[in-house]
Amino acid sequence: MLLTRKQFREAVFKRDRYRCVICGKEDNLDAHHIIERRIWGDLGGYYLDNGATLCPEHHIKAEQTVLSCEEIRKAAGITNTLIPDHLYSDTRLDKWGNIILADGRRLKGELFFDESVQKILKEGGILSQFCNYVKYPRTFHLPFSSKVTKDDRVANSFSYVDFKNSIAKWVNPIFKSKLKEEDTFRWRYRTIIPNKLKSK
């Protein structure tokens, strides 16, 4: 169940008995997002199973990804692993959505190049573990796609997609010579998708 920021904080503290799940300290606690809230898009990742109570020392280690998501979940007694829909649920992820390979190396995720992420990973000595490859978020079929097969993944939600800044900016240059008005596609895309979803 999605919570508000205030509900999330209180629910996480209550479940963890107002103690750091790693060391048991009770001062200056933080309700830590196990998977970064920005990856969840508009939802913000405010789910009880995406939070854990940490003291300042262990909160920094979690942000640096020195303390893994799995270690935090285990310490908090969380058995339900929540992952945003656009990420692969069958892979191991760090807090920032970077994929951790079996040999410990990492693939750069969608927030890897963010300045604050770079800074915290550098402080944790983690940057050297990254490969020179980037793993982009998975591509899902639209719910109304006519070519979906049983093996395909279908998007259940569009909450994590910024249509205006991603799809429209990619498509418009291609069709700009064919369209008389630059915003024609953007307008049609925003109105077609919600109407298709409502009819399902």
Share of the chain above pLDDT 90, in %: 55
Whole-angstrom Cα Rg for the chain: 20
Which pLDDT band holds residue 137 (cuts at 50, 70, 90)? low
Question: What's the pLDDT at 144?
Answer: 75
Domain boundaries, the chain: 5-134, 167-199
CA distance 54 to 58: 6
Q: What is the pTM of this model?
A: 0.70
Chain segment 54-84, per-residue pLDDT in tens: 999 999 999 999 999 999 999 999 999 999 8
Of 128, 134, 125, 132, nearest to 99 (Cα)?
134
Strand-by-strand arrangement of the 99-100 sheet: 92-93, 99-100, 106-108, 130-134
Residue 52, token pair as written in the block: 């854990």
Which pLDDT band holds residue 138 (cuts at 50, 70, 90)? low
Chain segment 31-53, per-residue pLDDT in tens: 999 999 999 987 789 999 999 99
